[in-house]
Structure 1
Amino acid sequence: MSLHRALARHGPAGLGLLLGLLALGPALGPGFVLRYDMVFVPDPPLVFGPVFGSGGSGGFPRAVPSDQVVALLSAVLPAQVAQKLILLGLFVLAASGAAALVPPGTEDGRTAGRFAAAAFYAWNAYLAQRLLLGQWALLLGFAGLPWAVRAAAGGGSTGRYAVRLAVALVPAAIGGFQATLVTAITVLPVAALTRRARAVPGSLLVIGLVIGLLSLPWLVPALGARAVTDPAGVDAFAARADGPFGTLGSLLTLGGVWNAEAEVPGQGSWAVAAVRLALTAVALAGFAGLVRAGERRSRGLAVAAVAGLGVACLGAFAPGVLKGLIGWWAGFGPFRDGQLFIAPLVLCQALGFAVVVHRLGRLGAAAVAVPVLVLPTFALGAFGRLAAVDYPGEWRRVQAIVNGDPAPGALVSLPWGAHRAFAWNGGRVILDPATKMFSRPVVWDDTLVVERRAGGAIRVAPEAPAARRIGDLIRGGQGSLTAEFAAQGVRFVLIEQSNENEFLSRLSGASPIFRGEELLLLRL
């Protein structure tokens, strides 16, 4: 293989690795990267049955099967190493997949186009914002999306088609229900508008069966869950403006996530937003050229992008419709966070940018750096918003005590709130690590309170029945909780020391079995 061909074939993956190293920066140091939903823990337990992915509290299985895959990896690698390999793998998989979708052209032009697509898809506001929200499992599906599109548009016998599709869908399957849903919305129109008319029904059936089989780890517990979805989440999770061009402008420039803390530094400034909008216009013009040229996958991708953008706009511009759907059936809950469905639009723009770079010929090589230059503050962990830290030793000691106890029973984590901001984590907000550390059901408050820029807050009620019951007991007065917790099957209560006085008097008779500087563990 010539050097030029080797570069064209393997170079995009190498570029993805370089972009990952640049984006993560300090997060690649010793320790764990902990931010919002990204909670990796030392020695994560491998658990099945009622604990599998739902914390044992009856909520929707949001971390299935991603947590179990992490636990399996951590059985052969240190958990912090496994996390870093996963995060770097996102960039490599995304870059190489986008490059593989670039249509054929002249050899020099196609090489530049492949690198351009790789750079765009591995460095954009969508990936940055979702990473800063800690949604690494969703990003697995995003990174694997180009490969899924390639497999869905491919030919061959039914058996070979199904095998290739199943392999391509593995990242989304590991990512769980959100990653799988975004992928399904993308690959179905691609298959319908790419394959021969006679093969379309069979292809769609194969896609449905493969997605259904790969979804069983989260689909089975989801169907059996007694969780509820609060329609108030539509207002909390709706796409929002993160720049001067409004909500629609933010979505078109691949931003618009609901949480303002997920913005990279300076993202909302006029200069940065204007340059990103100009890049969007160029990329969409390039993609429109693909569609006009009849490139077979582009039509299906265009349909998926329009559909995804429509879902993203629904919560922002027609919230009543989505609230009505959720009130009718909780299964519409995943559409609350509509911005995540613009993933196919990101892929369209990456391919469109590749087309433009291809037309520049040899000058196109310099344009590969443009995606990085228009969002420079994504570098170095978004200027320190991502960093590696280690858990204090007492977390590991509590984990060993609880996981070493053979007696059944759940653990209640207090104070009663989903998120924490520890000093040892630089004050970064994370989901309570107790939800991931123990091999028994953990009952925690999955209520979400979203502060609005205009003032006030939106309170999204908890999904899990056990969380609602325990929450009612805690808020029910100042009486003893010991007997009530025991009646709910609770064996351990884990309390942050700063909240000890609030709860200890209500847990008379419980035995303190560990007391550290930060944590107090009680056994009922």
Structure 2
Amino acid sequence: MRIRLIFCAFSAAAVAAVVWPFLFGGQLAWRDMLVLDSPGMTATNFGGGDLFARNAPQDGVLAIIAKLVPATWVVKALMVASAIGAAAGAWWLSNKELLPTLAAIGLAVANPFVIERLMQGQWSLVIAAWLLPLIAAAALHGVTLLVWLLMFVASLTPTGALVGLIVAVVCLRKHRLLTLALGALYTAPWAIPGVIATFRGGQEMNAQAAAEAFAPRAEEAVGTVGALLGLGGIWNADAVPESRHLGFALFGLGVFACVLVGARFVPRRLLVLAGVGLAIATLAWLWPTGMAWALEHIPGAGLVRDSQKLLLLALPGYVMALGHIPARHTVAAALALGCVILQTPDAASSLSVLRGTQAPLVDNNLVAEINERDVLFIDRHTLADIDGRLVVDPYSKVVNKVESGSLSVDGTLVDLPSPRWQAAMQAWEDNDRTALEDLGIGVVVEDEKIIAETSVTPHSVPWILTSLWLLSPAIAGLAYAGVLRNERRSNPTKI
């Protein structure tokens, strides 16, 4: 009983250290994270806008949920619940000895990958990272329905859908075909629009620049390989706790050394997953030209252009290895716990930037005047400066904004402006209202004022795929009921 209380207390402390900013009020606005209380029922939120559906189904789900409760409440609750799930998964994967289990819990909840991605604002990717150890544990123990439900939550983001499916299929011993089918269903809100966008000719990127810009990055004292081995190395140096710029990433190598101590107790399948994730991330750094070729020639490769994300595949193996350091290796277990804490000692303070803002993010009167029509903003682009924060333009979440999607990293253009945005801007410069109408644009806005209107009316929103995604847990439940019925028929109880 005493040791369980210690596990619970440590888990609570670890969870609180990373989710505390989500316990306050306000709308969430930091870099890639923009969660409004009431996002709109827009085409982009449901994967049908000018850009690839990178934020489906999460934005559409939040738009639907906001009809009942503020979307920010839901996201904040998901963050807390998922962090608790990470602690539970680490405990489940561990040998239940004190120090190894504490080290596993600490790594699952507050590893450098999680901290850096939170500082980049990628909240739904962090949810997937937190759930992966729990998915692996449930799969290894044959708790299939739980695996399917956790996959569903992880699939809020495309990367989460893919890694959740991979870990589940690799770790499950039964029902793999059904798992693949459900995994495919979970990807529908972004995969189907992505295929359509590919055939119609969507936004283009500078493949070589993208491969170089989003490659894993070296961290102080450990280089790029050392950063990856310690589960760090995100491409954006600004999304890194200050301690890691001062050499604390060295403790990540200590974590990796302790992982090697417990690795022999980890199923080979998890070690293979970890090796694959580390290898591809490293290869993308060593050979950006190869990544550029993949981005140009392999459909869907853009999902992994930020290749450091593939460290997600290493998380279950790392957590289980730390959690299975033998009891006789007390020094190694204590070292593991210390290194887990010291590799990001300033995590809690670094994450203070995630606290919600009370600043007005959009003009609700303008949103009402736009009235669901497609709108061209003359002076608003992909990112905006809101309350001193560089964040995704809030209007992209509440109206049918004609989006540029243009992105520069360190002064290099990575994503080119979308064809529709370029055509719309040219039409506006030429004062060609007919061309604007042909592009489906009903409103032109500058300085948050409507300066022109056309006869174009609002169009329907492609909400069906996201609605199907919301129903998929029920489909998973029905599939599991069918599995149980078939198993009972094939193994009748003897009287």
Shared fold (TM-score, shorter chain, > 0.5): yes
2:100·2:336 contact (CA, 8 Å) conserved in 1?
A: no
Residue 448 (1) aligns with residue 420 (2)? no
Unpaired runs of 5+ in structure 1?
A: 292-297, 512-524
Q: Find the partner of 1:304 among 263, 273, 278.
A: 273
1:236·1:460 contact (CA, 8 Å) conserved in 2?
A: no
Tell me what 1:28 maps to.
Answer: 23
- 1:475-494 aligned within 5 A: 478-480=429-431, 482-494=433-445
CA distance change for structure 1 residues 280 and 366 in 2, over 3 Å: closer, same or farther? closer
Shift of 1:304: 0.6
- 1:422-501 aligned within 5 A: 422=386, 424=387, 427-438=388-399, 441-451=400-410, 456-462=411-417, 467-474=418-425, 478-480=429-431, 482-496=433-447
CA distance change for structure 1 residues 468 and 429 in 2, over 3 Å: closer, same or farther? same
CA distance change for structure 1 residues 396 and 15 in 2, over 3 Å: closer, same or farther? farther
Q: Deviations over 1:214-262 (max 9, x none)?
A: 2222222222223355223212211111223221111111111111121
Scaled by the length of structure 2, the TM-score of the pair is 0.81
Q: Find the partner of 1:396 among 356, 361, 364.
A: 364
Aligned residue identity for 1:190 = C
Tell me how far apart the structure 1 counterparts of residues 381 and 407 of structure 2 sit (CA, whole Å): 8
Shift of 1:44: 1.9
1:305·1:344 contact (CA, 8 Å) conserved in 2?
A: yes
CA distance change for structure 1 residues 228 and 478 in 2, over 3 Å: closer, same or farther? closer
Shift of 1:20: 3.5
Tell me what 1:238 maps to.
Answer: 215
Residue 290 (1) aligns with residue 241 (2)? no
Tell me how far apart the structure 2 counterparts of residues 5 and 99 of structure 1 sit (CA, whole Å): 12
Q: Deviations over 1:5-45 (max 9, x none)?
A: 8648xx45x64443333234455332123111110112123
Tell me what 2:116 maps to.
Answer: 129
Tell me what 1:178 maps to.
Answer: 159
CA distance change for structure 1 residues 258 and 44 in 2, over 3 Å: closer, same or farther? same
Q: Deviations over 1:37-90 (max 9, x none)?
A: 11011212345xx54533522x22112211233234433433333332222223
Aligned residue identity for 2:360 = P
Q: Find the partner of 1:95 among 77, 87, 92.
A: 87
Residue 417 (1) aligns with residue 387 (2)? no
Secondary structure at 2:30 match in 1: coil
Tell me how far apart the structure 1 counterparts of residues 292 and 147 of structure 2 sit (CA, whole Å): 34
Q: Find the partner of 1:188 among 169, 185, 189.
A: 169
CA distance change for structure 1 residues 475 and 246 in 2, over 3 Å: closer, same or farther? farther
Shift of 1:348: 2.3
Aligned residue identity for 1:385 = V
Aligned residue identity for 2:381 = G
Secondary structure at 1:215 match in 2: helix
Aligned residue identity for 1:71 = A
Tell me what 2:184 maps to.
Answer: 212
Tell me how far apart the structure 1 counterparts of residues 328 and 120 of structure 2 sit (CA, whole Å): 36
Tell me what 1:514 maps to.
Answer: none
Tell me what 2:294 maps to.
Answer: 325
Shift of 1:150: 2.5
Secondary structure at 2:377 match in 1: strand
Shift of 1:476: 7.6
Residue 19 (1) aligns with residue 11 (2)? no
2:99·2:334 contact (CA, 8 Å) conserved in 1?
A: yes
CA distance change for structure 1 residues 94 and 397 in 2, over 3 Å: closer, same or farther? farther
Paired residues in the alignment total: 450
2:427·2:436 contact (CA, 8 Å) conserved in 1?
A: no
1:25·1:380 contact (CA, 8 Å) conserved in 2?
A: no
Tell me how far apart the structure 2 counterparts of residues 17 and 471 of structure 1 sit (CA, whole Å): 50
CA distance change for structure 1 residues 357 and 390 in 2, over 3 Å: closer, same or farther? farther
Shift of 1:123: 0.7
Aligned residue identity for 1:126 = F
Tell me how far apart the structure 1 counterparts of residues 216 and 65 of structure 2 sit (CA, whole Å): 34
- 1:221-370 aligned within 5 A: 221-225=193-197, 226=200, 227-228=202-203, 230=205, 231-232=207-208, 233-270=210-247, 272-282=248-258, 284-291=259-266, 298-356=267-325, 358-359=327-328, 368=337, 370=339
Shift of 1:121: 1.0
Tell me how far apart the structure 1 counterparts of residues 218 and 332 of structure 2 sit (CA, whole Å): 35
CA distance change for structure 1 residues 468 and 275 in 2, over 3 Å: closer, same or farther? same
CA distance change for structure 1 residues 473 and 251 in 2, over 3 Å: closer, same or farther? same
Unpaired runs of 5+ in structure 2?
A: 456-495
Aligned residue identity for 2:170 = P
Tell me how far apart the structure 1 counterparts of residues 63 and 327 of structure 2 sit (CA, whole Å): 43
Residue 120 (1) aligns with residue 120 (2)? no
Tell me what 1:294 maps to.
Answer: none
CA distance change for structure 1 residues 154 and 397 in 2, over 3 Å: closer, same or farther? same
CA distance change for structure 1 residues 317 and 400 in 2, over 3 Å: closer, same or farther? same
Tell me how far apart the structure 2 counterparts of residues 229 and 303 of structure 1 sit (CA, whole Å): 34
CA RMSD between the two structures: 3.1
2:362·2:394 contact (CA, 8 Å) conserved in 1?
A: no
Tell me what 2:487 maps to.
Answer: none
Tell me how far apart the structure 2 counterparts of residues 29 and 255 of structure 1 sit (CA, whole Å): 27
Aligned residue identity for 2:318 = Q
Q: Deviations over 1:288-338 (max 9, x none)?
A: 2314xxxxxx21111111111122123211122222222223311112111
Tell me what 2:47 maps to.
Answer: 54
Scaled by the length of structure 1, the TM-score of the pair is 0.77
Q: Find the partner of 2:77 among 51, 75, 85.
A: 85
2:44·2:53 contact (CA, 8 Å) conserved in 1?
A: no
Shift of 1:182: 2.0
Shift of 1:489: 1.2
Secondary structure at 1:304 match in 2: helix
Percent identity, aligned pairs only? Answer: 24
Shift of 1:349: 2.3
CA distance change for structure 1 residues 229 and 153 in 2, over 3 Å: closer, same or farther? farther
Q: Deviations over 1:377-427 (max 9, x none)?
A: 111343x4323212327533333443xx3xx631223425211122x2xx2
Tell me how far apart the structure 1 counterparts of residues 133 and 272 of structure 2 sit (CA, whole Å): 15
Q: Deviations over 1:445-467 (max 9, x none)?
A: 1111000xxxx5243224xxxx3
